[in-house]
Amino acid sequence: MAQEANPFESLQEQIDDAAAYLDVRDDVIERLKNPERVLETNLSVEMDDGSIELFRAYRSQFNGDRGPYKGGIRYHPGVTRDEVKALSGWMVYKCAVVDIPYGGGKGGIVIDPKNYSEGELERVSRSFAKELRPFIGVDRDIPAPDVNTGQREMNWIKDTYETLENTTAPGVITGKALDNGGSEGRVEATGRSTMLTAREAFKYLDRDIEGATVAVQGYGNAGSVAAKLIEDLGANIVAVSDSSGGIYNSDGLDARDVKAFKNETGSVSGYEGTESLTNDELLTLDVDLLVPAALENAIDGDLAKDVQADIIAEAANGPLTPRADDVLTERGVHVFPDILANAGGVTVSYFEWVQNRQRFYWTEERVNDELERVIVNAFDTLVDAYEKHDLPNFRTAAYVVAIQRVVNAYDQSGNWP
């Protein structure tokens, strides 16, 4: 099992690693390593039995130099202040690497949603929306889904905001259902960017993705969509997992059928014709491509020594610790970082926000074409930086590109006296 690393310290280390290759003053870099503000609140919510329960919740607004704060809201028992700070910082550099006009933010509630009824979850979400209301807005801070949240929670938050503000403002949040101002293609967007990154990575490394073997850790929104779209490229998904464990079949799984099985039974475990394996076994399988799509710190320095994949495309945020990065760089494993490989989610959120502002809605084909253009451009810019500056790995390349863009926006804005 991977050792805990503090994700906020990991983010700061990633920024320092890239800053070493940039001609930017230390005090400016220091500014880019810390959030502008963090809201911490205790939601008191009535449960179905009439009792009141407290839920700790956070929203971190990391940096707004390039536009409104943007980023998802996570419901998970492991949410911490430092985790939310890290996730909000990763959003800054993600939006910059794909060059969409946002800063970075992130929110989280310490809750295991499995233990609550739909009515209780609605009251928790509305209570958080009430606390968030003064801090968010179409041009201020725009939340979205993350782990254990989706269209349902986004709809509740939008409705609470609009009711309290006595207005209609669908662009205050993205990832909504289609009938509530959502965008075609948003549900699949995160996994789609992982597929596009993997496709471009194989091309760049002069390898064939058709017939390649693939393991996917985490089979939720990001992982299951990435799996099915990578399978559509002709790759062979041999192993997938979720929090209950993993399944393996050397002949390959049917990604869509496994998802249907998980929807029916609640987990991938027990899928017909498979051997079970632990998450650590999955992460160290001898495959061509590994897609971590669960949570932070899945692979630490020790586990990284046993990773046998040649290419990693990070669908999750922060799945590798900095020590794991060092080990994998040393061992020549090609890691394509989260801030590129899962940037499809926020990119299509941007498209949703644009559509909400214009009250003019796009076809799924247009969304997917525009997304492909953004991700392929970002990939090309990243490999150009990697080659031009002779950088150690693709993560550093992504941060070099992203930090420079944030610094440019900051510099061009001038100074207050």
Ligand X SMILES: O=C(O)CCC(=O)C(=O)O
Ligand Y SMILES: NC(=O)C1=CN([C@@H]2O[C@H](COP(=O)(O)OP(=O)(O)OC[C@H]3O[C@@H](n4cnc5c(N)ncnc54)[C@H](O)[C@@H]3O)[C@@H](O)[C@H]2O)C=CC1
Binder of ligand X out of 72, 103, 171, 292 (CB under 6 A): 72
- Whose tokens are 């001609």? That residue is 23
10 with 398: CB under 8 angstroms?
no
160 with 141: CB under 8 angstroms?
no
265 with 285: CB under 8 angstroms?
no
Which residue blocks in 71-166 are alpha helix, DSSP H?
81-97, 118-132, 151-165
Which H helix or E strand runs over 368? Answer: helix 364-388
63 is in an annotated binding site: no
To the nearest whole angstrom, how small is the minimum distance from the Cβ of residue 342 to ligand X?
6
Site string (295-314) toward ligand Y, x via CB under 6 A: x-------------------
Q: Is residue 114 annotated as part of the catalytic site, yes or no?
A: no
According to the binding rule CB under 6 A, does residue 217 interact with ligand X? no
Separation CA 191–CA 139 (nearest Å): 27
What burial class does residue 314 get, using C-beta atoms within 10 Å of its C-beta: 0-12 exposed, 13-18 middle, 19+ buried?
buried
Q: Dihedral of CA 230/71/25/409: which sign?
A: positive
125 is in an annotated binding site: no
According to the binding rule CB under 6 A, does residue 219 interact with ligand Y? yes
CB-nearer residue toward ligand X: 222 or 285: 222
Binder of ligand Y out of 242, 310, 325, 352 (CB under 6 A): 242
To the nearest whole angstrom, how small is the minimum distance from the Cβ of residue 370 to ligand Y?
17
Binder of ligand Y out of 12, 60, 127, 217 (CB under 6 A): 217
CB-nearer residue toward ligand Y: 21 or 246: 246
Separation CA 387–CA 354 (nearest Å): 34
Find the angle CA(414)-CA(416)-CA(417) to the nearest 5 degrees.
Answer: 125
Residue 60 contact partner, candidates ligand X, ligand Y, none, CB within 5 to 8 A by sort of partner: none
According to the binding rule CB under 6 A, does residue 125 interact with ligand Y? no
Q: Select from 109, 135, 120 the least CA-distant residue to 56.
A: 109
CB-nearer residue toward ligand Y: 19 or 76: 76
Separation CA 21–CA 396 (nearest Å): 9
According to the binding rule CB under 6 A, does residue 346 interact with ligand X? yes
CB-nearer residue toward ligand Y: 218 or 337: 218
According to the binding rule CB under 6 A, does residue 220 interact with ligand Y? yes
Residue 242 contact partner, candidates ligand Y, ligand X, none, CB within 5 to 8 A by sort of partner: ligand Y
Cα 37 to chain centroid distance, Å, stands at: 21
Binding residues for NAD(+) are 190, 221
Residues annotated catalytic, as ranges: 106
Catalog residues that contact ligand Y under the rule CB under 6 A: 145-148, 190, 217-223, 241-243, 279, 293-295, 315-317, 342, 345
